Homo-oligomer: A and B are copies of this chain.
Amino acid sequence: MYVVIMAGGSGTRFWPLSRTKTPKQLMSVFGGKSMLQRTVERVLPLNPKRIMIVTNVEQAAETGRQLAEYRQCPLDIVAEPVGRNTAPAIALAAAIIGHHDPAATMLVLPADHYIRNEAEFCRVATVAAEAAAGGVLITLGIEPTRPETGYGYIETAPATAGSAAQPVKRFVEKPDLVKALEFLEAGNFYWNSGMFIWTVAAIQKELALQMPELAAALGVLEFADDSWQLDTLKPQIEAVYPLLKGESIDYGVMERAAAVNVIPANFGWSDVGSWSALPEVITADDDGNVAVNTDGLIAIDAKDSLVYGNGKLTALIGVEQLIVVDTPDALLVCHNNRAQDVKKVVEKLQQQGLKGYL
């Protein structure tokens, strides 16, 4: 199995901690290791043949720095010169892996997701890899634990006897609460996790069908030899990438492919989409408060609040549902239900040309 980690995101919803050069996946969201490092560590028990990180040129140096310590497994870093969403990134990874190992199976993972139960993750990934061996595209479907309106869903048909894989009936956009409750009740709806397993042959066949321009553009890549020296690819990627159309793998392939199966997963997953998701993944104290990277939290009649600190003693008095993020040059105080609006701050900074804060 090869693992492809999609690490090119430049999310703005974790500002001021996340910046252009240190986006969420390179951040130590939980203190300690970054989300990318945790993602790499999570797959090591699967003994992958190689791990490929697809990042972008701005983050490549920091990505390499963070991954220098993982020498147990060969690790390739491929840098996109411009972001083109997930389909080109996956197609590029498939092209490179396919050249070196045409019989490869690819596990595709976002670099910035949280998974609580890592052993269960490995078990599910192994089951999914077996299901993918037959040539079907597999996506991991998270069993819903609440009527979440922030995720897309996948509706499935019953699995055939003896298989864990459930055929996809349809992909569903983020629902309203009424629909989300119906989905939760129905039992055959899963959160669309953005984690996939397939053989390189299967995804390349499907790319050729659904996204022929993309497949053709990457088909011209010339490899120096069969070693994993990828240096000669760099100028070719820089030449071809800006010409590609940006597209997600969901829209470009998964929603149109004939045979997509879901492997249900229940390993405590979160896409950690904004600051308000952190209390989902970090255990709060009895008052519902979470303090990361503070030199102590003194809470007086304060509850359900998150402090992401900068090493300081922090005191909260008479506040609820706050997000407080302190960094060396910027400070954010935000109501928990407004976490999506953090990106508006980033937009304002962009408008004002305050690049130092981006």
Contacts and interface: CB of A to CB of B under 8 A. Distances in A.
Nearest to A356: B313
A312 interface: yes
B300 A318 contact: no
Contacts of A335: 317-319
Contact of A334 (B294, B312, B319, B328): B319
A332 interface: yes
A331 B295 CA distance: 10
A341 interface: yes
B354 A334 contact: no
A333 B333 CA distance: 9
Interface residues of A, number: 41
B313 A334 contact: no
A309 interface: yes
A23 interface: no
A212 B319 CA distance: 50
B300 A317 contact: no
B298 A348 contact: yes
A342 B309 CA distance: 19
Contacts of A329: 295, 312-313
Contacts of A332: 314-315, 317
A336 to B, nearest CB: 9
Interface string A346-358: 0011000010010
Interface of A: 15-16, 294-296, 298, 300-301, 307, 309-310, 312-319, 322, 324, 326-335, 337-338, 341-342, 344-345, 348-349, 354, 357
